[in-house]
Each structure stands twice: as structure tokens, then as C-alpha cells.
Structure 1
Amino acid sequence: MKSFIKNKFFLILTVFLLLGPLCSLPALAEDPSPDYSQKQNWLELSGPPDKEVDVFWVYPTVYQGKPLVAAIDDPQMRQAAMRTLTTQASVFSDAANIFAPMYRQVQMAVLKMSVQDQEKYLDIGYKDIEKAFDYYLKNLNQGRPFILAGHSQGSDQLSKLIKKRLNDPVLRSKLVAAYIIGWSITRQDLENHPYLQLCGSDGDTGCIITYNCVAAGKQKSAPTILPGAVAVNPLSWSTDGAAIAADQNLGAAIFAVDGKMSMEPRFTGAQAVEGGLVVNPRDANKLTSMPFGPGVYHNYDYALFFQNLKVNLEHRINEYFSRCK
């Protein structure tokens, strides 16, 4: 019996050493990162570009597969990410060429991990985003100014990118604006990275637009609102915390399951309160996708202010070029 137990112990030890601990990162983390010279590794690849400005779009959490980290060619992820080009990134499509890389994103279950473990998994996708951005700058940008835009997990990844890369003044001079929407930029981020600035008016450039939509009192229910989060109000483009009435809302875009969109002006007002953007939709029954529970309007961060974002973008681009003359 002792011999059997001893042999069993060494068998388990051997398997452990060969396979690693059960809580280790999935083997996918060790796979080669995507080759962005290959078109299939892009969700959208504008060409030939016909606009003076680009947008580098990073899609939100759409992956629902069983492994915690998606394969770059996961068909469910691609199909769901394509929908974001209509429901979110179309804010930019009239004014900018869209470049949107595929990346190995994580599923929402990772949010239940400790922050340290989350970052281990999220770092897989970040490496893809940074590699895609470098490829874009070297091979696709051709000297044009650009916009960085994302939502949710995509904005989280872009927040890391701007902290790491926008300390380069040459690169920063090409930035029209960074839309870190559906994730937090905090006061600590701004203190630690003084080259990052929030947009404080409708014509500021080289700056960050960030907010997370919630009903009053629901700030702590939103996992995307981090301690010390700040917000830019998309109805005033200010950070002063003033309440802006719904009559300043040019139109919320409400998308049906079949993709059809209805534009609804004056759908909600907005006020930055305690790190969140508090909204009061006049018909909340039309907002049915609530992954973080009632009153957390995360999936509608772009939709609720669709027309204001779109109209302001053209103004902001014009302001950028006027300052470059």
C-alpha cells in the first residue's frame, strides 16, 4: 500500500510539473500574437481611405465562449464585434476611416477575479492591441491625424495604450481625441500621467472623452466605474458636474434586434455625479440589455448620446485642422 501511495504521489507531481498549476493562464496566452499584415485579423480595414482622419476602434466585450480568452478567429466574437460597427463605431464612420483590429479578448467572467488576476488575462488582448496600433501607424496611417475610440473592455485596453504611448509629443500631436467610453479614467490616472488631459469644451483636441451611464444612485453597481473616476458630459462637453436637460440631446439611437435604428431626440438629460454619468431616459423600457443589472446603462453609453457625439466629432475635427494651420 505504501508503495502504491508513493507511486501515486510521484504521478501527480509529474503531471503537475508538466502541465503547470490548474489556475495558470490558458495555453492561448502563449500562442503567437496575430499577424496584422493579414486582413483576416482585422474587423474593419478602411481602404483606400477617403477621409482626412482615421479612427482606431477597439470593440467592447462581446465574446461568450467557454475558454476565458477568445481565439483571434473565434466566429462568435467576430459576428458580435461586427454589430458594434453599426451600433457604436458608426458615430465616427461619416467623418473618419475606420481601422478595427480583432484581438484576443476575455469574457465577462474575468471581472469576478481579483484585479491582479484580471490584468494577467487582459494583458493578452492588450499586447494584440498595441501590436495592431503599431502596424496601423507604420503601414496604414500615412500621416493622417487619428481618433482612438472604444467601449468597455476596448476602452480599458485603450486606457492602457494612451498611458503608455501618449507621452510621445509627436504621437500626441496627431490625436484628435480619445473616446475612453464605458470605462474609467481616474483622477489618479491624470495625476500620474500629466500628458493626459480631459476634454473640457466642445472644441478641445488631443484630449479624452470618458463617461459611464447609470441611473441615479447606481454608480457603485457599475464595475466599470473605478474609484476616483471622472466624466465628461456629452451634452455640454464639460467636466463641471452641471445637470444638462434632455432638450440638449440631439438624438439617442435605439437599435432593434434586426439592426434597424430609430433616432429619438431629447431622450435623456445627463449629469456627472460621483464618477458616473447620471441619466434619466424618458422611456427606459426601450433599454433592455442590462448585463450589470437595472439602472446600469453600460450597453447604451454610445446610443444615448449618438447624435451629439456624431455632430461634435465633425466640429472637433475642424478645430483640430484649424489649429494645425
Structure 2
Amino acid sequence: MARKFLYFVASMVILVLAGAFVFRLYGEELMEVAFVPDTEFTAQKVLETNVYDDPHMWLARPELVKGNPALWLPEGYSDTDPAVPDGKKAAVFFIHPTSFLARDRWNAPLDDKESQALARLYLRGQASAFNAVGDIWAPRYRQATLGAFLTEKPEGQQALDAAYQDVLAAFDYFVAKIPSDQPIILAGHSQGSLHLTNLLKDRVAGTPLANRVVAAYVVGWPVSVDTDVPEMGLDICAAPEQTRCMLSWESYAEPADYSRIVEVYNKTIGFNGEPRKDSKLLCTNPINGDIDSAAVASANLGTLVPNDDLSEASLVAGSVPARCDKRGFLLIGDPPEIGPYALPGNNYHVYDYSLFWSNIRADVQRRMTAFLAR
């Protein structure tokens, strides 16, 4: 299990559904039966003060070197240029996506071995993109189970709210622990990015902390330009060297059918209290590092592609283009030969990071350099 690469070790259902609310739309009744808990929600015990002082409460942390999944790199890979000037490092706070799939409870216990193993695999292919510029902190948290995204039951939202309280506790510890002048990078995917949107609203917006954020990578979760961004405390990253800003994208091959996603999205309320209906999604082009643009495949510096036994991955340059459409979804051309785990409608949610791994790595290095040069 430990040798398996990324999140390709699980079945298609596990892979493509973990951590995204939109998937309730595909076979809704079947998915509810298969994944939604049939138990009552039980409020979680509040974590003890300073529980995150324990290194075992982190999947990745600076002093954790042996077996740290966030330190993974593709076989034979090395950075050709210095990551940042003078060796100065950022502190990277990364929130992993859903890896708990059981239906016997609404939130994952911290001692659940299967979900923890999957979370470590996620970090290898996602958080690793940031390890050139800083020390990665990735907390363990009592995440909401997959079924919380597949139901209208109030217990689903209660589970998400409970998970968010753990993330807040971890973030507060993180901020208190790192040097008061150290630059910060925030990142997540899917359920992790959902929590990150709230964290930006609750802990960054309107505070001095916003001035320390190099960038926030809110990947694999919809962010409304009109109703969410103004409440999240950072500008949109409109240029590749811009700092103190946020990036977000959701990947689709073509022809893309995201009509069901839009249907659900249009029923939600934004952070400013206004309906998100018909509002544009924030769409960063991870190849260019700007918004609402197009890039040819030759500009893609490297996509992570697994080997046959899924134990490792190699970087393939120039394989996937990217362009933002008018609605705010990221289109990647014809379906790429990267693996079989795409959702209906050519939704490549699972591959949001791996499609652009090298460009994300270059993007964060570029922004960190610009931040230090201010």
C-alpha cells in the first residue's frame, strides 16, 4: 500500500468522488445508499488545547523527514534553479481532500488507518508541488466522510462544520508556531479547499496575516468571483508574479459537460449572503499563472503520469493545454491519457494538481521570489 503512487490505488468510485459536493448528481440515489451514513450525527469531542503540538497530529511538518509524503518528488527529478533567493522559506499550510469513505460515522476518527494512508498518498501528488519553496504543514483532521457530500441531510453539513473546527485549531497552532515574519502559502484540494475558503474568510480577511500570504491555491472547489472573493481577504491572482492573491480552477477535458455542477452551484449562497446563481467562477490558468486565458500544450512544463504498477510517476511535458471558458471552468482539450479516473462529463477533478504539477511548482517559486523582492 505504501508504495502505491498518489491516489490511483483506490477504485474509480473512491478516487473520483472523494471530497467534492458536485458528485451527488451522478447516480444520487445509488451513491446515497452506498456512502451516506445511516447513523445519527454525534458531536465530536473538542480537541484538547495544543493537541497540534504533537507531531503525530500532522501528516507533514518541518521536523518530520522520514516518510514525509509532502517531500516526495518524481523519480529522477531535480530543480535546476534555486527555489527562492538566499534560501528563505515560506511556511506552507496544506489541507488534504477527503480520504474517509466509511458510512458508519459522519467524521473520520484520527486512528483510522485506511483514510490516513490515502491522505498520505494525496500529499505525494499534491502538496509535493510546494516543497521547493517552503516547509509544508499538513494537519490530520477529523474530516467529513464522503457521504456528507452526497446528501441533503443536515448531518452532512454538521460533519463538515465539525471537520472545519479541527482545521481551524491546526491553523491557529501553525500561525502561532512559525516566525511572526515568515511568508505563508495556503493550499488545498476538494474538501480541503472548501475548508480553505472558510479559513480565508475567518482568519485572513481584514487581518495583518493577509500581508504575509504569498498566495492561496484553492484548487478543486468552486469560488464565486462576485459573492465569495470579496469576503476572502485576498485579491485574485491576475498576473503570474502577483502576490497576496488566490488561485482556483476545476479541470475538464472536452467536450465538457458541467451542466449538473452548475445546477447545484446555482442553488448555493455566497459568503456575502447573496445567491451564487449565474455568478462567474474564479478560473486560474495554472500554465500561465493568470486568469481567463489560454495556453498551448507545449507550455505545460510537466504532467504527472503513473507507471504501469502505479508505484511511481514520471513527468511528461507538453501533453495538456489549458484555457478558461466564459463560465469559469478550465478546459484541457481532448481527454489525456493520464489514467481512467475521470468523472462523467469529462470532469478531471482527480487530476487538478497532477495535470499541471510542474507549472504549479514554477508558479509558486515565481510568486515567492516576487514576494521576497517587495
TM-score bracket for the superposition, by shorter chain length = 0.7 to 0.9
Cα offset for 1:142?
4.9
Larger Rg: 1
The match for 1:9 is none
Cα pair 2:190 2:221 within 8 Å, conserved: yes
Show the 5 A alignment for 1:160-309: 160-190=198-228, 192-193=230-231, 195-216=233-254, 217-222=256-261, 226-227=265-266, 228=279, 229-239=281-291, 241-256=292-307, 258-273=310-325, 274-281=327-334, 284-290=336-342, 292-293=343-344, 295-309=346-360
Cα offset for 1:223?
8.0
- Looking at structure 1, the residues matched to 216 and 295 of structure 2 have their Cα atoms a distance apart, in angstroms, of 23
1:94 is paired with a residue whose SS is coil
Cα offset for 1:221?
4.7
Residue type of the alignment partner of 1:32: V
Cα pair 1:221 1:296 within 8 Å, conserved: no
Cα pair 1:212 1:225 within 8 Å, conserved: no
Residue type of the alignment partner of 1:289: Y
2:174 is the alignment partner of 1:155:
no
Cα offset for 1:117?
4.8
Residue type of the alignment partner of 2:226: Q
For residues 196-248 of structure 1, give each alpha carbon's deviation from its aligned partner in whole angstroms, at most 9, with x where no partner exists: 31100110111001000012322235589944322111122222x33321111
- Looking at structure 1, the residues matched to 373 and 288 of structure 2 have their Cα atoms a distance apart, in angstroms, of 22
1:55 is paired with a residue whose SS is strand
The match for 2:45 is 31
For residues 231-279 of structure 1, give each alpha carbon's deviation from its aligned partner in whole angstroms, at most 9, with x where no partner exists: 111122222x333211111111113453311111111111112221111
2:90 to 48, 53, 56: 53
Residue type of the alignment partner of 1:37: D
Alpha carbons of 1:142 and 1:84: their partners in 2 closer, same or farther (altered >3 Å)?
farther
Residue type of the alignment partner of 2:317: P
Moved more, 176-185 or 113-122: 113-122
- Looking at structure 1, the residues matched to 161 and 232 of structure 2 have their Cα atoms a distance apart, in angstroms, of 24
2:235 is paired with a residue whose SS is coil
Cα pair 1:183 1:225 within 8 Å, conserved: no
Residue type of the alignment partner of 2:101: Q
Alpha carbons of 1:230 and 1:116: their partners in 2 closer, same or farther (altered >3 Å)?
farther
Structure richer in helix, relative to its length = 1
2:116 is the alignment partner of 1:78:
yes
2:128 is the alignment partner of 1:90:
yes
- Looking at structure 2, the residues matched to 224 and 133 of structure 1 have their Cα atoms a distance apart, in angstroms, of 33
- Looking at structure 2, the residues matched to 103 and 317 of structure 1 have their Cα atoms a distance apart, in angstroms, of 28
Alpha carbons of 1:54 and 1:68: their partners in 2 closer, same or farther (altered >3 Å)?
same
Ranked by relative contact order (alpha carbons within 8 Å, sequence separation 6 or more), the top structure is 2
Cα pair 2:229 2:235 within 8 Å, conserved: no
Percent sequence identity is: 27
Cα offset for 1:190?
4.0
Alpha carbons of 1:108 and 1:186: their partners in 2 closer, same or farther (altered >3 Å)?
same
Show the 5 A alignment for 1:305-324: 305-323=356-374
Cα offset for 1:285?
3.5
2:42 is the alignment partner of 1:41:
no
Cα pair 2:249 2:330 within 8 Å, conserved: yes
Cα offset for 1:51?
5.0
- Looking at structure 2, the residues matched to 221 and 262 of structure 1 have their Cα atoms a distance apart, in angstroms, of 34
Alpha carbons of 1:71 and 1:124: their partners in 2 closer, same or farther (altered >3 Å)?
same
Cα pair 1:183 1:224 within 8 Å, conserved: no
Relative to the length of structure 2, the TM-score reads 0.73
Alpha carbons of 1:300 and 1:181: their partners in 2 closer, same or farther (altered >3 Å)?
same
2:227 is paired with a residue whose SS is helix
Residue type of the alignment partner of 1:286: I
Alpha carbons of 1:310 and 1:191: their partners in 2 closer, same or farther (altered >3 Å)?
closer
Q: How many residues align?
A: 297
For residues 130-153 of structure 1, give each alpha carbon's deviation from its aligned partner in whole angstroms, at most 9, with x where no partner exists: 110001111244531110001010
CA RMSD of aligned residues (A): 2.4
- Looking at structure 2, the residues matched to 146 and 185 of structure 1 have their Cα atoms a distance apart, in angstroms, of 21
Residue type of the alignment partner of 1:278: L
Alpha carbons of 1:115 and 1:277: their partners in 2 closer, same or farther (altered >3 Å)?
farther
- Looking at structure 1, the residues matched to 212 and 263 of structure 2 have their Cα atoms a distance apart, in angstroms, of 28
Cα offset for 1:65?
2.3
Relative to the length of structure 1, the TM-score reads 0.84
